[in-house]
Structure 1
Amino acid sequence: MHLRRQNVAGRATLAALERVPRSLFLGAPHKRLAYRDRAAPIDCGQTISQPTIVAMMTDALALQPHMRVLEIGTGSGYQTAILALLAAHVYSVERYRLLSELAAERLKVLHVDNVSLRVGDGHFGWPEEAPFDRILLTAAAAAVPSDLVEQLADDGILVAPIGPAGHTQELLRCRRTADGLVGEKIADVRFVPMVAGVARSL
């Protein structure tokens, strides 16, 4: 696998990526892009991130088998499936009902049974299941939503692209401490923006 040669992530993360067939999460017109290291279009005008970025973000979470993870932006379900291999349970929020339903079907094909999906506004997270050991945002926010900070466990880690829509953003790894979030930059990235509310159609 080319990601091993690039040394972008640890052994456990790369093994999880190798177990999840990216082609399952792409529509027929784009399956040829499944194993290229580039983003690809999915339904509802969204994208599936390139494998290098998925590996980098997953590795930054430093997941352990006992952990509970909140994912903001289910998208195709590809990242969700990878998280599910590395954590005890994944709670994933998606604003597009169609994407959530398609992701559920794909996860069922892979016999993934430790994921809970919800259609909702990701800015508000999943408060009734908080706190979470790890939180991952798969869309760019101007700043980390305060509700998500509140749902992160003490000493928990949040990974998110932060910055303006349509421009380069910073992928940050933030740890919750007694003094608040302490962050470090991982890389420059470009993600679709995090949008408030639930989509009225699709």
Structure 2
Amino acid sequence: MPFIDREDAARQLAKALRRYAGKHALVLAVPRGAVPMGAIIARALGGELDIVLVRKLGAPGNPELAIGAVDESGWTYLTPHAAMYGADSVYVDRERTGQLETLRRRRAMYTPGREAASAAGRVVIIVDDGLATGASMIAALHAVREQKPARLVCAVPVAPPQTLERMRPYADEVVCLESPPAFRAVGEFYREFPQVEDEQVIACLNAR
């Protein structure tokens, strides 16, 4: 497997991103899995760590299958195959409403009493622990692009080639360490891939 665990993947990503060291980059991690990775990358680059909150929209009857994603503003991306899985407008509205409520709860839990770090005019690196459909990353890139960063980078350890191509219109640069054509799930490319808990996310953000 390419990666021992998320820490190993983060160290490798930090090396691939070393040209941004000393540029006060804003490293935005997608909770929950990427937050410990983002902490390692931000530390290696001398940057600032924060989160970008987005939520996957699950398919009818199969919540693990992404048919899209939503950001905190309510902007929604739908994958090309969303309708094929029975996601009509009524279903999408209901799923969006539920996921927005989850985003509100997470914002209150993860960053109580403080504003999100501003991306305006900065190098911003959005980190996730891997992409499958890429829906959540597209929502994250769109949300941050609205803040007018100087440069917007998508950085992931692993993603299928077709998903990486889907990212390119939304980012100024896409950094990916492994892009295998045979791809079923992100966790297949890690020897250890435990779930990251809310407490770990909060600890990383409090130590930033």
Q: The TM-score by the shorter chain falls in which range? A: 0.3 to 0.5
TM-score norm. by structure 2 comes to 0.39
* Structure holding more strand per residue: 1
**More RCO (CA 8 Å, sep 6+):** 2
TM-score norm. by structure 1 comes to 0.40
